[in-house]
Structure 1
Amino acid sequence: MNCPFCDHEETKVIDSRLAGEGRQIRRRRECLACHERFTTFEGAELVMPRLIKSDNRREPFDEQKIRSSMHRALEKRPVSADVFEESMGRMVHKLRTM
C-alpha cells in the first residue's frame, strides 16, 4: 500500500482489529520511509449478480424493485413486517452468495 504522505510503496501493519460490526478490518499502518502513521479500512466488495430479462438483456439487481413488488403482492395477506424483512434478508443473502 502506498503511503498517503510521501507515496512510498512500502508500509507495515502495526495493529489490526475488526470494525463496523465485523464487516471491516481497521489497520493501523506506518510508512517505512517517512515513519508517518495512518489508518486504513478494508472490506469486501460485494457485487450482486446481473439479472437476465426475458428479452435476454442484462439488468443490475435492484433490491428496492423486488422489495416493492413483494410488498404489493403481500399487502392484503396476513404477513407481518418482521417476517417480510426476514425473508428479504434471506433472499438478498442467497443472491450475494451465488
Structure 2
Amino acid sequence: MKDSRPAEDHVAIRRRRFCPACGGRFTTYERVQLRDLTVVKKNGKREDFDRDKLSRSIRIALQKRPIEHERIDQMISGIVRRLESMGDSDIPSDTIGAIVMEALARIDTVAYVRFASVYKNFQAADDFEEFVHELRPPAPSSEDD
C-alpha cells in the first residue's frame, strides 16, 4: 500500500509505504532530476553534484536564523533547478557559490556573510570588515546649499 502526495516544496513526491515482509511503514521522497550534474572544482577536480552537500552548507549558514525550514527547502530546490536548467552538465564550483550567495543575500544577510566567509576563504577580521562595508549602502552625503 502507498499514499502519494506532493512534498512541502512542491518539487518532490512524498510516498508513505508499507513493507509487507516486516509490517513497517516508511516515507520516500522522489524528485525529478533533469540531468546528472558534475561539479568542476577550482583545481580541475570533478565530482558528482550532491544536493545533500549543498543543503548542508546552506543550512549551516542559516543556523539559528529566523528562516522557516520550508523556505530553505524551496530555496535549495530553486538553486538545483537553476543549475539543472543551465544547459551544461559541468558546473564550475564558482558558479554554484555565486548562485547560493545570490539566494542567501535575498533572504538573510547574516547567512550571506557566513556563507561568504567560507566561500571567499576569509583569513582575518579585516576580510569580514571589507566585505560587510561593501554590503552597506553609501551614507547620504550632506551637501550645503
TM-score (norm 1): 0.50
Partner SS, residue 51 of structure 1: strand
RMSD: 2.1
* C-alpha contact (below 8 Å) 1:50/1:58 kept by paired residues: yes
1:94 counterpart = 2:56: no
When you count helix as a share of all residues, which structure comes out higher? Answer: 2
| Aligned length, in residue pairs | 56
**Corresponding residue for residue 59 of structure 2:** 71
Identity across the alignment (%): 29
1:81 counterpart = 2:69: yes
Misfit runs of 4+, over 4 Å: none
TM-score (norm 2): 0.35
Q: 1:60 aligns with which of 48, 55, 61?
A: 48
Cα 1:58–1:90 shift into 2, 3 Å = same
Name structure 2 gaps, 5 residues minimum.
1-5, 7-31, 87-145
1:47 counterpart = 2:50: no
Name structure 1 gaps, 5 residues minimum.
1-20, 22-43
**Corresponding residue for residue 13 of structure 1:** none
* C-alpha contact (below 8 Å) 1:48/1:95 kept by paired residues: no
Partner SS, residue 57 of structure 2: helix
Q: CA deviation at 1:45?
A: 6.8
When you count strand as a share of all residues, which structure comes out higher? Answer: 1
Q: Which has the larger radius of gyration?
A: 1
Partner SS, residue 75 of structure 2: helix
Q: Deviations over 1:22-66 (max 9, x none)?
A: xxxxxxxxxxxxxxxxxxxxxx87323211112111111000001
Partner SS, residue 44 of structure 2: coil
Q: Deviations over 1:6-30 (max 9, x none)?
A: xxxxxxxxxxxxxxx9xxxxxxxxx
Q: CA deviation at 1:92?
A: 0.9
**Which structure is higher in RCO with an 8 Å CA cutoff and minimum separation 6?**
2
Partner SS, residue 39 of structure 2: strand
